[in-house]
Amino acid sequence: MVCACQSSGHGSIAQWYEQMSAQQPKGERLYICHGFGCAYTQPVMFEAKAERRLRSILAKGRASASNERKAIAKAVSWQEKRVAASVGSAGDVGGLDMQNGGQRGQLDCIDEAANTTSLLLYAQRKGMLRYHTVERPDARGFFLDGRYPHATAVIKENESGALFAVDSWRLGNGQAPDILPLKRWRAITAADLG
């Protein structure tokens, strides 16, 4: 399983979205990427009921930063299931087999990083995150080091400044993302994934 996608360079979250041809959330609308490299976008509204549900999920993490990361994982899983019907992503295959590229409803790491970042930016704007701040997505691997390029959403723990990858690419639609220290995530190789 590899993700032949890359997010290079430094800069703001807005610059990352622009580089990836993705759209940041606007108001109550999130633009869900799919088809690999954000080839397709599906606008999805956050109605009042969905916002209440997201707030409820994230509120379960109020006790600590560690608990908030667990709640974030549940929120990402919930969001993937919530938008699956309108995006056509219910059958999204975890990882990448290179045959799904360009197919509507299939997501690569750029799609996953954009969608997770969008959800977290929305939650942050609505005051639902207490212990973390959304950061620019990050990447590892660049072929020359023997690894395929791979991108992930990133959050920063406010008190410690520690960075964490929030990576939902490895598993199928609606499964909880891997959340681990960014330094550890950057060191992962294909062999580590099994």
Give the pLDDT of the chain (194 residues) as one tens digit per residue. 344 444 444 689 999 999 999 999 999 999 999 999 999 999 999 999 999 999 999 999 999 999 999 999 999 999 999 999 999 999 888 875 666 666 688 899 999 999 999 999 999 999 999 999 999 999 886 544 444 678 999 999 999 999 999 999 888 899 999 999 999 999 876 555 54
pLDDT confidence of residue 46: 95
Number of domains, the chain: 1
pTM of the model: 0.89
Task: Identify the three-state secondary structure at position 167.
Answer: strand
β-strands 132-140, 40-45 pairing: unpaired
5 occurs within a structural domain? no
1 occurs within a structural domain? no
6 occurs within a structural domain? no
Long-range contacts: 153-160, Cβ < 8 Å, 24+?
A: 153/112, 153/113, 153/116, 153/117, 153/120, 154/117, 154/182, 155/69, 155/72, 155/120, 155/129, 156/132, 157/65, 157/131, 157/132, 158/65, 158/131, 158/132, 158/133, 159/65, 159/131, 160/65
44 occurs within a structural domain? yes
HEC profile of 84-109: HHHHCCCCCCCCCCCCCCCCCCCCCH
Q: How far apart are CA 155 and CA 146, in angstroms?
A: 26
31 occurs within a structural domain? yes
193 occurs within a structural domain? no
8 occurs within a structural domain? no
For residue 57, give its domain range: 13-188
2 occurs within a structural domain? no
pLDDT confidence of residue 87: 93
Nearest to 113 by CA among 188, 17, 27, 39: 17
pLDDT confidence of residue 147: 45
DSSP 136: E
Per the listing, tokens 């704007």 go with 125
